[in-house]
Amino acid sequence: MLVSLKPQIDALSPSPPTMAEEVVVVTTTLPGGMSEEEVGMFVEPLVNGRLVACVHRSRIHSTYLWKGEKCTEEEWKLEFKTSVFRLGELFSAISESHPYEEPQIIHRIHQASEGYAGWVAENTEG
């Protein structure tokens, strides 16, 4: 006898997320030669200005092509948590103060728990 699991799976599946349950993660990199203090000075205005709710920073090793040459360098990776509504302002703010000639500024929209997404939205209200 065949037993269908579909109703059980549907009962366990979360409901489709609403806009309030989305969090945007924006990623950029900074030169590895920057000190922790300098990186802090880069991110503080973004947090204080409520463009981001938080930022994670870590040191990474990057290999890439730049102007026809392969480069391998240590960099800082920054991941900003923000709301869809602040995305344009955040892109502009990063671009204006970024030390790279052509900075990586990319974003992804993630589904998040209602509580976390609410916290991000609350802390990025303009």
Q: Which CATH class name applies to 20-123?
A: alpha beta
CA 41/CA 64 separation, integer angstroms: 26
Whether the predicted model's global pTM rises above the 0.85 cut: no
Asked if 59 contacts 32 with a C-beta cutoff of 8 angstroms, the reply is: yes
CA 6/CA 16 separation, integer angstroms: 17
- CA within 13 Å, CB half, 22: 14
pLDDT digit string (tens) for the chain, length 126 residues: 555 554 444 555 555 555 558 999 999 999 999 999 999 999 999 999 999 999 999 999 999 999 999 999 999 999 999 999 999 999 999 999 999 999 999 999 999 999 999 999 999 997
Instruction: Give per-residue pLDDT as tens, 24-52.
Output: 999 999 999 999 999 999 999 999 999 99
